[in-house]
Structure 1
Amino acid sequence: MAPDTREDIRVDETVDPTRPWQTVVWNDPVNLMSYVVHVFREYFGFARPEAERLMLAVHNEGHAVVAEGAREQMELHVRAMHDYGLWATVRKAPQ
């Protein structure tokens, strides 16, 4: 039997409760830009200029952060985006 050569690796499991989570909407080949603006206005209540700015970020950069806060709330936003037919995920906000 070969000797065990694995190293012990320590993972920092410290959780920063103040670090927010984000809802990220991703570009897709299906939804019209006008529909994405409609969803952002209807669901999040964004004014048209902000909804259009976020839609253009999704379109041009491939994604946009549309909300930031507690993980549970971001998961609800992602579920809502899926219900509207948009691609969305939750991620931790960068430090």
Structure 2
Amino acid sequence: MTPSVAFGTAIGTDTDERTETAQQASTDVLTAPDIPWNLVIWNDPVNLMSYVSFVFQSYFGYSEAKANKLMMEVHKKGRSIVAHGSKEQVEQHAVAMHGFGLWATVEKAASGNDAPGKDGSTRG
């Protein structure tokens, strides 16, 4: 009988350890930082380059030089990452860009340094 008591105690301890590990893993997921997301603007045959630059200036508050640089990237490379942030924030920007008639998509950022701007911030 003593061996089964010792065996029962070992199982109880193992279950407690597994529960603590599961709770810790669950907490880790909840406290993990938000993955950065990018707003990508794509080239299209419809919008004028001056209009795209205007949208970047008026919506994001970018300087004329910065807006023109991003617009030229869209024009020459076919796409440009114009903002980054939380998924919800970037999705709101994408909806706003669609309202301006621009083709915009949201993608996970490869790293935190993909975004434009001196400090990496975007409007929001």
TM-score w.r.t. the length of structure 2 is: 0.63
Whole-Å separation in 1 of the counterparts to 2:34 and 2:96: 24
Unmatched 5+ residue regions in structure 1?
Answer: 1-14
1:34 match: 50
1:23 match: 39
1:18: how far off? 4.1
Identity of aligned residues (%): 56
Larger radius of gyration: 2
Among candidates 78, 84, 89, match of residue 73 of structure 1: 89
Higher relative contact order (CA 8 A, sep 6+): 1
TM-score w.r.t. the length of structure 1 is: 0.81
Aligned pair count reads: 81
Whole-Å separation in 1 of the counterparts to 2:33 and 2:102: 28
Unmatched 5+ residue regions in structure 2?
Answer: 1-28, 112-124
Where do 1:41-56 residues align within 5 Å? 41-56=57-72
* 1:84 aligned onto 2:103: no
Q: Residue type of the partner of 1:34?
A: S
Whole-Å separation in 1 of the counterparts to 2:80 and 2:33: 23
Q: Which has the higher helix share?
A: 2
1:19: how far off? 2.7
1:5 match: none
1:20: how far off? 0.3
